Amino acid sequence: MLPLLVLLILTSAAGQSQSKTSAETSSNPPKEFMTSMADRMELLLLDRELISNLVQYAEELQEKVDVLQRCAKAMQIPLEDSKGREEEYLSNPLHSFQLIRHMHEDWRHLEKFMRQPVGQDQINFLKNKATKFPSVEETEEATEAIYRIIFTYNVDPADLVKGLIDGVQYNSSISAIDSLSLGTLFFQWGEYKNAHEYLHYIFDLVNPEYYSVYDVLGLASREVFMLMARCLVELDLEEDARTTLMGHPALAEHSERLLTLYRNTRHVPVSWELMPFLPEEFNQICRSSHQNKPSRLHCRYNTTTTPFLRLAPLRMEELSLDPYIVVYHNVLSDAEIAEVERVTEPLLKRSVVFDGKGNKMSTSKRRTALGAWLPDDNMDVSGRAVIQRIFRRIHELTGLIINDRQDMQLIKYGYGGHYDIHFDYFNTSTPITKARGDRMATVLFYLNDMKHGGSTAFTDLQLKVPSERGKVLFWYNMRGETHDVDSRTLHGACPVINGTKTILSCWIHELDQMFIQPTYRPGNRLS
C-alpha cells in the first residue's frame, strides 16, 4: 500500500466523522491505520462498499428522475396541442374535462411522489458505517506522517504531485483535497512558504469536470484564496497577498478589510513540542543520496566472543570502532521471526518514550509506533521458547550476561513512522537505573526488509544502517573504562516511506555486567 494512496483513503473516509462513538470504542479494539496493513485493508474494502452504495443511491435517484421526466413529457403533449389556439382548444369539452381533472388529481399525486424519500436504505447504510471511519485524530496523524516524509526526504511539492519521493517514482499522486490538507497542516505549524506552495498546487490539480464534486467535498476556492493570502501576509508579502485576494471575484471588494484583519491578527503556530524534531543533519543521513563514508573496517566471521561461535560463527561487519558499532547478518531465521511476530501481535499498543521532565514513560509524537514488551505474562506460552533462544543468541553475539530480569521490546513502525534522534541511555536517576544501572549497550534486531526509508541514522557518526531482515545491530552506549555515557551514539529511526518496519530492541544494563566489565577509572557520570 503506497503512502499517498493511504492518505487519500484516510482523508476521504474521515470527512464527517468527528469521533468514534462510545459504543464502538467500548466494544471494538482501537484501529491502528498507520501500522496495521489489515486495518488499512479493512478501510479500503469499506471505501469500496461505500462507493458501491453511492452508485446504488445515484441509480435510485436516476430512476425517480426518469419517471419525473416521463411525467413531464406526457403532460406537455396537451399543452403543445393548445399552443396558439387556446380558446379553440378549451372549447372542446373533453379538453376542459381533462384539464380540470388533471389539475385537481395529477399534481397531487406528483407532489406525493416527489415527497417520497429516495435512497433511504443507502443513507442508513452510510450512517451505520460511519462508526468505522477514522477519527479526526487518526486523520491528522495520517497527514502528519506524510509531513514527516516530505520534510525528512526533502520532497518538493512538484515531485509529490507526480508521486516522486526520494528518487523513487510511485504509481500514485495526490488530489486537490490532499494538497489542501497538507497546506493547512504546514500553515498550522508556521511553515508558510510550504503551505502557500501546496495551496497553489490545488489549482493545477483541479479538474474542471469535477467542480461540483469539489463543492460537495468542501473544497471552496474562496477559502483557498483566503488561506494563501494569509500565508503571504505572514511572509511579509502583503502586495502579493492583495493580488491574490483581488484575483477571486467574491473577495476582490473585501481585499483591504481582509488584509487589515490578517495584519492585525497574526497567526500563532502550534507549540514546537507538538511538532516532530527532525534536524537537518538527521534528515540528510536518511535520504537515499547519503552514502556512508568508506572505511578500512573489516567484515569477518566472529568466532571469539563466546565458545559457541567457534562451532557456529556469525558474519560480523564493523561499522565503527569508537564508539563500538557492529552488524551481524542472518542471525534470526524466517521461522523465528514469524514466531516472534505471532506471539507479539496481540500485545501491541502505542509505544512510549522516557519523559525526562516527568521522569516517566509516556506516549509522545517523538516516536510514532506500536510496541510490546517481551516476555509478557499475557503472551502465548508457546512463544516463550523462541524468546529464550533470542536471549541466548544475544549473549553469544555480545558476550554479555543476560539474566532472568532481561526483557526486550518489539516495535512496529507504519508509513511515516519514526523515532526522533535520542540516546538509549537515561543518564539520570530512575527506578530502573537505581536497580540495574543505565543502558550500557543496545542490541537491535531487524525483522523485515524495508522497501524505502526506515533506516537507523547515527547523526554524529554520519552513519546509516538500512533495515534488512535477520540483521542485528549492536553498539555500546558507554565508554569502556569509565562507563561515561557516549553522546556520539545519538541516533534516530528515519520515517518509513513504503511498507512496515518491525524491530526487536534489547537494552543491556551495566550493573548486570559489573563482574565482567567493571569500570577501571572514575568518569564524569551524573550521579
Average pLDDT rounded to a whole number, residues 375-389 = 93
Distance CA 472, CA 325 (A): 11
pLDDT tens track for 76-104: 999 999 999 999 999 999 999 999 999 99
**pLDDT exceeds cutoff 90 at 367:** no
Average per-residue pLDDT for the chain = 89
Distance CA 23, CA 26 (A): 5
pLDDT bin (cut points 50, 70, 90) of residue 520 is low
E strand or H helix that includes residue 264: helix 255-264
**Is residue 385 within 8 Å of residue 453, measured between CB atoms?**
no
E strand or H helix that includes residue 507: strand 501-509
Q: Please give the pLDDT value at position 295.
A: 82
Q: Please give the pLDDT value at position 359.
A: 62
Q: What residues contact residue 390 under an 8 Å CB cut-off, 6+ apart?
A: 332, 336, 340, 408, 445, 504
Distance CA 87, CA 84 (A): 9
In three-state secondary structure terms, 377 is coil
**Is residue 80 within 8 Å of residue 89, measured between CB atoms?**
no
Q: Please give the pLDDT value at position 210.
A: 84
E strand or H helix that includes residue 413: strand 408-413
Considering the chain, what percentage of its residues have pLDDT values greater than 90? 73
Q: Please give the pLDDT value at position 360.
A: 64
**pLDDT exceeds cutoff 50 at 14:** no
Distance CA 89, CA 78 (A): 9
User: Which has the minimum average pLDDT: 212-216, 396-400, 449-453, 459-463?
Assistant: 212-216
E strand or H helix that includes residue 90: helix 86-91
Average pLDDT rounded to a whole number, residues 399-426 = 93
pLDDT tens track for 263-317: 999 999 988 877 888 999 999 999 999 999 888 888 899 998 889 888 889 999 9
The C-alpha cell of 64 is what? Answer: 425517480
**Is residue 57 within 8 Å of residue 21, measured between CB atoms?**
no
pLDDT bin (cut points 50, 70, 90) of residue 3 is very low
The values of phi and psi at residue 452, to 5°, are -160, 125
The C-alpha cell of 44 is what? Answer: 479500503
Distance CA 17, CA 348 (A): 25
Average pLDDT rounded to a whole number, residues 61-84 = 94
Average pLDDT rounded to a whole number, residues 193-202 = 95
102 DSSP 8-state letter: I
Q: Please give the pLDDT value at position 23.
A: 40
**pLDDT exceeds cutoff 60 at 145:** yes
User: Which has the minimum average pLDDT: 177-181, 235-239, 497-501, 523-527?
Assistant: 523-527
Q: Please give the pLDDT value at position 211.
A: 85
Q: Please give the pLDDT value at position 13.
A: 45
Beta bridge partners of residue 476, listed in sequence order: 441
Average pLDDT rounded to a whole number, residues 138-146 = 92
Q: What counts of helices (H) and strands (E) characterise the chain? A: 20, 19
Distance CA 442, CA 454 (A): 18
pTM listed for this prediction:
0.86
Considering the chain, what percentage of its residues have pLDDT values greater than 70? 91
